[in-house]
Structure 1
Amino acid sequence: MPTGVAVVCDTDDCLAVYLAVETGNDGDERSADDVSQLARKAAEGDGWVIGFGFGQPVMTCPGCADGRGPVRERGTCRRCMGRTDEASRCTYCLHTEPPDDEGRR
């Protein structure tokens, strides 16, 4: 069964989540530290900001990092799971989901 790793925003009351890494079910063994590092790198590549609090890395979602957060309403945004408008643009991180091969968002 495939498993994954989520990154959550460290800002108080923020509901942002980034589904960062799917570890797969092909028998590929990875340590928890390896998976955490992959998740942080994937999130950073998608606009999340890494910082350090109490000696631990913490992640801040793009909306909170830019002053539009915290995410208070869940939606369909791939980057932060925030609410999107009719044009598929996230209210919080401003990410716009490109249309798929059939022109749907």
Structure 2
Amino acid sequence: MPTGVAVACDAGECLAVYLAVETGDDEDARSASEVSQLARDAAQGDGWVVSFGFRQPVMTCPGCADGRGPVRERGYCRRCMGRVDTESRCVYCLRQVEPFRPEAG
């Protein structure tokens, strides 16, 4: 079964999460260090800012890095999981988001 890795914003009270990478199935063994690096690279490539705290990288979402955060309302933005406005733009990271279409069922 495929598993994934998420990156969370380190800014205080921020709810931003980036669903960074799919690591493959159980037979595709990777070290925790390798998976963490893949997640950091993916998030950084999508506008997250990496800095270094005490012995480890610290990730900051695009909204907090640019002063529009912290993300306080969850929504459908793939980049930070922030709320999306009526024009399909994330109010935190300003990413244009495909309009949400609930599955028929």
After TM superposition, give the deviation of residue 98 of structure 1 in Å: 4.7
Distance 2:66 2:18 in 1: 16
After TM superposition, give the deviation of residue 97 of structure 1 in Å: 2.1
Instruction: Specify the alignment match of 2:3 in structure 1.
Output: 3
Alignment of 1:74-93 (within 5 A): 74-93=74-93
Query: What number of residue pairs does the alignment pair up?
Result: 100
Normalised by the size of structure 1, how large is the TM-score? 0.90
Secondary structure of 2:24's counterpart equals coil
Q: Output one character per residue of 1:7-52: Cα deviation in whole Å (capped at 9) or x when no partner.
A: 0000000000000011122721111100000000000000000001
Instruction: Specify the alignment match of 2:65 in structure 1.
Output: 65
RMSD: 1.4
Secondary structure of 1:19's counterpart equals strand
Distance 2:45 2:4 in 1: 17
Distance 2:76 2:97 in 1: 9
Distance 2:70 2:16 in 1: 8
Alignment of 1:29-68 (within 5 A): 29-68=29-68
Structure 1, unmatched stretches of 5+, are none
Structure 2, unmatched stretches of 5+, are none
Distance 1:86 1:21 in 2: 28
Normalised by the size of structure 2, how large is the TM-score? 0.90
Mean Cα deviation higher: 60-69 or 49-58: 49-58
After TM superposition, give the deviation of residue 56 of structure 1 in Å: 1.1
